[in-house]
Amino acid sequence: MGIADGRVVIVTGAGRGLGRAHALAFAAEGAKVVVNDLGVGLDGLPGPDSPAALVVAEIRALGGDAVAHGGDIATAEGAASLVSCALDSFGRLDTLVNNAGFLRDRMLVNLEEDDWDAVMRVHLKGHFLPLRAAARWWRAEAKAGRRVAARVVNTSSGAGLLGSVGQGNYSAAKAGILGLTLVSAAEMGRYGVQVNAIAPAARTRMTEQAFAETMAAPSAGAFDAMAPENVSPLVVWLGAEGSAGVTGRVFEVEGGRITVMEGWRPGPTADREARWTPAEAGETATKLLAVAEAPLPVYGAAD
Protein backbone atom coordinates (compact mmCIF):
# COMPACT_ATOMS: atom_id res chain seq x y z
CA MET A 1 0.00 0.00 0.00
CA GLY A 2 1.53 3.29 -1.13
CA ILE A 3 0.35 6.87 -0.63
CA ALA A 4 -1.03 6.92 -4.19
CA ASP A 5 -2.61 3.47 -4.05
CA GLY A 6 -5.48 3.13 -6.52
CA ARG A 7 -5.14 6.63 -7.96
CA VAL A 8 -5.05 7.19 -11.71
CA VAL A 9 -2.29 9.59 -12.68
CA ILE A 10 -1.39 11.28 -15.96
CA VAL A 11 2.20 12.46 -16.43
CA THR A 12 3.00 14.45 -19.58
CA GLY A 13 6.47 14.35 -21.09
CA ALA A 14 7.04 11.16 -19.13
CA GLY A 15 9.33 9.31 -21.51
CA ARG A 16 12.54 10.69 -20.06
CA GLY A 17 14.02 12.79 -17.28
CA LEU A 18 11.73 14.24 -14.66
CA GLY A 19 8.55 12.88 -16.23
CA ARG A 20 9.89 9.33 -16.31
CA ALA A 21 11.02 9.66 -12.68
CA HIS A 22 7.57 10.92 -11.68
CA ALA A 23 5.78 8.10 -13.52
CA LEU A 24 7.94 5.42 -11.89
CA ALA A 25 7.57 7.02 -8.45
CA PHE A 26 3.78 7.17 -8.71
CA ALA A 27 3.64 3.54 -9.85
CA ALA A 28 5.87 2.53 -6.93
CA GLU A 29 3.30 4.12 -4.60
CA GLY A 30 0.44 2.15 -6.12
CA ALA A 31 -0.88 4.50 -8.80
CA LYS A 32 -2.01 3.52 -12.28
CA VAL A 33 -0.15 5.75 -14.71
CA VAL A 34 -0.83 7.21 -18.15
CA VAL A 35 2.62 7.86 -19.61
CA ASN A 36 2.40 10.64 -22.20
CA ASP A 37 5.30 11.44 -24.48
CA LEU A 38 5.35 12.69 -28.05
CA GLY A 39 8.89 11.43 -28.58
CA VAL A 40 10.46 14.67 -29.79
CA GLY A 41 13.94 16.12 -29.52
CA LEU A 42 15.13 18.97 -27.34
CA ASP A 43 13.92 21.48 -29.96
CA GLY A 44 10.42 19.97 -30.08
CA LEU A 45 10.87 18.29 -33.47
CA PRO A 46 9.85 14.64 -33.93
CA GLY A 47 12.43 12.06 -32.90
CA PRO A 48 13.00 8.57 -34.30
CA ASP A 49 10.81 6.84 -31.72
CA SER A 50 8.81 7.48 -28.59
CA PRO A 51 10.10 6.34 -25.20
CA ALA A 52 6.64 6.22 -23.57
CA ALA A 53 6.24 2.50 -24.27
CA LEU A 54 9.61 1.80 -22.66
CA VAL A 55 8.53 3.53 -19.44
CA VAL A 56 5.26 1.57 -19.46
CA ALA A 57 7.29 -1.62 -19.84
CA GLU A 58 9.46 -0.61 -16.87
CA ILE A 59 6.41 -0.01 -14.71
CA ARG A 60 4.79 -3.30 -15.69
CA ALA A 61 8.04 -5.21 -15.10
CA LEU A 62 7.97 -3.88 -11.54
CA GLY A 63 4.40 -5.08 -11.06
CA GLY A 64 2.66 -1.78 -11.76
CA ASP A 65 -0.04 -0.79 -14.22
CA ALA A 66 0.46 1.80 -16.96
CA VAL A 67 -0.52 2.72 -20.51
CA ALA A 68 1.21 4.88 -23.09
CA HIS A 69 -0.22 7.95 -24.81
CA GLY A 70 1.63 9.51 -27.74
CA GLY A 71 -0.67 12.41 -28.56
CA ASP A 72 0.27 16.09 -28.80
CA ILE A 73 -1.07 17.61 -25.56
CA ALA A 74 -0.56 21.14 -26.92
CA THR A 75 -3.63 20.59 -29.14
CA ALA A 76 -7.21 20.44 -27.92
CA GLU A 77 -7.65 17.06 -29.57
CA GLY A 78 -4.51 15.64 -28.03
CA ALA A 79 -5.37 16.93 -24.56
CA ALA A 80 -8.90 15.53 -24.80
CA SER A 81 -7.57 12.15 -25.96
CA LEU A 82 -5.13 12.14 -23.03
CA VAL A 83 -7.96 12.40 -20.51
CA SER A 84 -10.01 9.88 -22.50
CA CYS A 85 -7.05 7.49 -22.40
CA ALA A 86 -7.10 7.57 -18.59
CA LEU A 87 -10.87 7.14 -18.43
CA ASP A 88 -11.01 4.37 -21.04
CA SER A 89 -8.06 2.49 -19.52
CA PHE A 90 -8.77 2.88 -15.81
CA GLY A 91 -12.27 4.34 -15.46
CA ARG A 92 -11.27 7.53 -13.67
CA LEU A 93 -8.67 10.29 -13.32
CA ASP A 94 -7.28 11.59 -10.03
CA THR A 95 -4.03 13.41 -10.74
CA LEU A 96 -2.53 15.36 -13.62
CA VAL A 97 1.19 16.16 -13.67
CA ASN A 98 2.00 18.69 -16.39
CA ASN A 99 5.67 18.21 -17.18
CA ALA A 100 6.25 18.27 -20.95
CA GLY A 101 8.63 20.86 -22.35
CA PHE A 102 11.68 21.70 -24.46
CA LEU A 103 14.10 24.57 -25.07
CA ARG A 104 14.85 26.99 -27.88
CA ASP A 105 17.39 29.22 -26.16
CA ARG A 106 18.47 32.51 -27.74
CA MET A 107 19.45 35.94 -26.52
CA LEU A 108 16.52 38.32 -26.96
CA VAL A 109 17.87 40.13 -30.02
CA ASN A 110 18.40 36.77 -31.77
CA LEU A 111 15.14 35.16 -30.64
CA GLU A 112 12.96 34.36 -33.63
CA GLU A 113 9.19 34.52 -33.46
CA ASP A 114 8.97 30.79 -34.25
CA ASP A 115 11.23 30.02 -31.28
CA TRP A 116 9.00 32.14 -29.04
CA ASP A 117 5.80 30.54 -30.31
CA ALA A 118 7.12 26.97 -30.10
CA VAL A 119 8.20 27.28 -26.47
CA MET A 120 4.99 29.06 -25.46
CA ARG A 121 3.00 26.36 -27.22
CA VAL A 122 4.49 23.32 -25.52
CA HIS A 123 5.01 24.81 -22.05
CA LEU A 124 2.10 27.19 -21.54
CA LYS A 125 -0.51 25.82 -23.93
CA GLY A 126 0.69 22.31 -23.10
CA HIS A 127 -0.23 23.01 -19.47
CA PHE A 128 -3.50 24.80 -20.15
CA LEU A 129 -5.14 22.30 -22.50
CA PRO A 130 -4.66 19.11 -20.41
CA LEU A 131 -5.63 21.06 -17.29
CA ARG A 132 -8.80 22.31 -18.96
CA ALA A 133 -9.72 18.85 -20.24
CA ALA A 134 -9.19 17.26 -16.82
CA ALA A 135 -10.93 20.10 -14.98
CA ARG A 136 -14.03 19.74 -17.14
CA TRP A 137 -14.30 16.07 -16.23
CA TRP A 138 -13.74 16.75 -12.53
CA ARG A 139 -16.34 19.53 -12.55
CA ALA A 140 -18.87 17.20 -14.17
CA GLU A 141 -18.13 14.54 -11.55
CA ALA A 142 -18.60 17.04 -8.72
CA LYS A 143 -21.85 18.35 -10.18
CA ALA A 144 -23.10 14.77 -10.47
CA GLY A 145 -22.59 14.41 -6.73
CA ARG A 146 -19.55 12.15 -6.91
CA ARG A 147 -16.62 12.84 -4.59
CA VAL A 148 -13.59 14.46 -6.24
CA ALA A 149 -10.16 14.59 -4.59
CA ALA A 150 -8.20 15.66 -7.65
CA ARG A 151 -4.66 16.98 -7.80
CA VAL A 152 -2.72 18.92 -10.42
CA VAL A 153 1.03 19.50 -10.30
CA ASN A 154 2.36 22.03 -12.80
CA THR A 155 6.02 22.40 -13.69
CA SER A 156 7.54 25.85 -13.61
CA SER A 157 11.22 26.69 -13.15
CA GLY A 158 13.65 28.96 -11.39
CA ALA A 159 13.69 30.75 -14.73
CA GLY A 160 9.99 31.49 -14.27
CA LEU A 161 10.62 32.81 -10.75
CA LEU A 162 13.74 34.89 -11.39
CA GLY A 163 14.34 34.93 -15.16
CA SER A 164 17.29 33.39 -17.01
CA VAL A 165 19.61 35.08 -19.47
CA GLY A 166 19.23 33.61 -22.95
CA GLN A 167 15.85 32.11 -22.06
CA GLY A 168 13.35 34.93 -22.53
CA ASN A 169 10.78 32.61 -24.13
CA TYR A 170 11.24 29.84 -21.57
CA SER A 171 11.24 32.24 -18.61
CA ALA A 172 8.06 33.94 -19.82
CA ALA A 173 6.31 30.60 -20.36
CA LYS A 174 7.32 29.28 -16.94
CA ALA A 175 6.20 32.51 -15.26
CA GLY A 176 2.88 32.16 -17.08
CA ILE A 177 2.50 28.65 -15.64
CA LEU A 178 2.72 30.14 -12.15
CA GLY A 179 -0.12 32.54 -12.94
CA LEU A 180 -2.18 29.71 -14.41
CA THR A 181 -1.55 27.66 -11.26
CA LEU A 182 -2.84 30.40 -8.96
CA VAL A 183 -5.97 31.06 -11.01
CA SER A 184 -6.88 27.41 -11.54
CA ALA A 185 -6.37 26.68 -7.82
CA ALA A 186 -8.79 29.48 -6.96
CA GLU A 187 -11.37 28.47 -9.57
CA MET A 188 -11.33 24.70 -9.17
CA GLY A 189 -11.22 24.36 -5.39
CA ARG A 190 -15.02 24.28 -5.20
CA TYR A 191 -14.98 21.08 -7.27
CA GLY A 192 -12.43 19.26 -5.10
CA VAL A 193 -9.39 20.06 -7.25
CA GLN A 194 -6.07 21.22 -5.80
CA VAL A 195 -3.46 22.83 -8.08
CA ASN A 196 0.17 23.43 -7.14
CA ALA A 197 3.42 24.04 -9.00
CA ILE A 198 7.03 23.00 -8.62
CA ALA A 199 10.21 24.73 -9.76
CA PRO A 200 12.63 21.79 -9.99
CA ALA A 201 16.38 21.73 -10.48
CA ALA A 202 17.61 18.43 -11.87
CA ARG A 203 19.81 16.94 -14.56
CA THR A 204 17.68 16.17 -17.62
CA ARG A 205 18.14 16.42 -21.38
CA MET A 206 17.19 20.08 -21.08
CA THR A 207 19.74 20.90 -18.38
CA GLU A 208 22.55 18.35 -18.69
CA GLN A 209 24.82 20.66 -20.70
CA ALA A 210 24.47 23.49 -18.17
CA PHE A 211 25.14 21.16 -15.23
CA ALA A 212 28.10 19.58 -17.04
CA GLU A 213 29.66 23.03 -17.36
CA THR A 214 29.09 24.09 -13.75
CA MET A 215 29.04 20.94 -11.60
CA ALA A 216 31.31 17.93 -11.28
CA ALA A 217 29.74 14.49 -11.57
CA PRO A 218 29.08 12.86 -8.17
CA SER A 219 31.63 10.32 -7.00
CA ALA A 220 30.63 6.67 -6.75
CA GLY A 221 28.21 6.11 -3.88
CA ALA A 222 27.75 9.84 -3.21
CA PHE A 223 24.33 11.50 -3.13
CA ASP A 224 23.55 12.75 -6.64
CA ALA A 225 21.86 16.08 -5.87
CA MET A 226 20.91 16.61 -9.52
CA ALA A 227 19.18 13.27 -10.11
CA PRO A 228 15.60 13.82 -11.33
CA GLU A 229 14.40 11.14 -8.91
CA ASN A 230 15.01 13.61 -6.06
CA VAL A 231 12.13 15.79 -7.26
CA SER A 232 9.53 13.04 -7.60
CA PRO A 233 8.74 12.32 -3.92
CA LEU A 234 7.23 15.79 -3.43
CA VAL A 235 5.34 15.49 -6.73
CA VAL A 236 3.87 12.16 -5.63
CA TRP A 237 2.79 13.62 -2.28
CA LEU A 238 1.22 16.65 -3.97
CA GLY A 239 -0.58 14.25 -6.32
CA ALA A 240 -1.92 12.07 -3.49
CA GLU A 241 -4.87 12.53 -1.15
CA GLY A 242 -2.50 13.10 1.76
CA SER A 243 -1.82 16.62 0.49
CA ALA A 244 -5.38 17.70 1.33
CA GLY A 245 -5.60 21.44 1.95
CA VAL A 246 -2.45 22.34 0.00
CA THR A 247 -3.31 24.37 -3.10
CA GLY A 248 -2.12 27.44 -4.96
CA ARG A 249 1.44 26.88 -3.72
CA VAL A 250 4.82 26.86 -5.46
CA PHE A 251 7.69 24.67 -4.28
CA GLU A 252 11.31 24.83 -5.33
CA VAL A 253 12.86 21.35 -5.26
CA GLU A 254 16.53 20.53 -5.66
CA GLY A 255 18.45 17.54 -4.32
CA GLY A 256 17.37 17.08 -0.72
CA ARG A 257 16.01 20.62 -0.37
CA ILE A 258 12.34 21.68 -0.53
CA THR A 259 11.44 25.38 -0.34
CA VAL A 260 8.02 27.00 -0.25
CA MET A 261 8.34 29.96 -2.60
CA GLU A 262 6.65 33.20 -1.53
CA GLY A 263 5.60 35.28 -4.50
CA TRP A 264 4.93 38.94 -5.09
CA ARG A 265 3.87 40.71 -1.90
CA PRO A 266 3.47 44.46 -1.26
CA GLY A 267 6.71 46.02 -0.08
CA PRO A 268 7.41 49.65 0.90
CA THR A 269 4.48 51.88 -0.07
CA ALA A 270 3.71 55.59 -0.21
CA ASP A 271 0.21 57.00 -0.76
CA ARG A 272 -0.42 60.76 -0.93
CA GLU A 273 -4.11 60.21 -1.81
CA ALA A 274 -3.68 62.55 -4.77
CA ARG A 275 -1.95 62.49 -8.16
CA TRP A 276 1.83 62.70 -8.26
CA THR A 277 3.78 64.82 -10.70
CA PRO A 278 6.40 62.81 -12.64
CA ALA A 279 9.21 64.39 -10.58
CA GLU A 280 7.41 63.63 -7.31
CA ALA A 281 6.69 60.06 -8.41
CA GLY A 282 10.34 59.56 -9.26
CA GLU A 283 11.53 61.02 -5.95
CA THR A 284 9.08 58.84 -4.01
CA ALA A 285 9.98 55.69 -5.96
CA THR A 286 13.67 56.33 -5.26
CA LYS A 287 13.00 56.60 -1.52
CA LEU A 288 10.94 53.40 -1.55
CA LEU A 289 13.63 51.50 -3.45
CA ALA A 290 16.19 52.56 -0.87
CA VAL A 291 14.34 50.64 1.86
CA ALA A 292 13.06 47.76 -0.32
CA GLU A 293 14.70 44.34 -0.44
CA ALA A 294 17.00 43.92 -3.43
CA PRO A 295 15.68 41.42 -5.99
CA LEU A 296 17.47 38.12 -6.42
CA PRO A 297 19.68 38.09 -9.52
CA VAL A 298 18.51 36.70 -12.82
CA TYR A 299 20.15 33.34 -13.61
CA GLY A 300 23.19 33.93 -15.79
CA ALA A 301 23.31 37.68 -15.21
CA ALA A 302 26.74 39.32 -14.93
CA ASP A 303 27.84 40.25 -11.40
Q: What is the mean pLDDT of residues 26-45?
A: 83
- Give the pLDDT of residue 212: 47
Say if residue 99's pLDDT is above 70: yes
Regarding the domain with residue range 8-261, which homologous superfamily does it belong to in the CATH classification? NAD(P)-binding Rossmann-like Domain (3.40.50.720)
Say if residue 51's pLDDT is above 70: yes
Q: What is the mean pLDDT of residues 236-262?
A: 96
Split at pLDDT 50, 70, 90, the class of 72 is: very high
Q: Are 211 and 201 in contact (CB under 8 A)?
A: no
Digit-coded pLDDT (tens) for 201-240:
877 555 445 444 445 566 667 788 889 999 999 999 999 9
- Give me the active site residues, please: 157, 170, 174
Digit-coded pLDDT (tens) for 256-285:
999 999 988 899 999 999 999 999 999 999
For the chain, give the mean pLDDT: 91
Backbone CA torsion sign across 274, 279, 282, 287: negative
The DSSP bridge pattern shows strands 250-254 and 257-261 to be antiparallel
**Rounded-to-integer distance, Cα 248 and Cα 180, Å:** 10
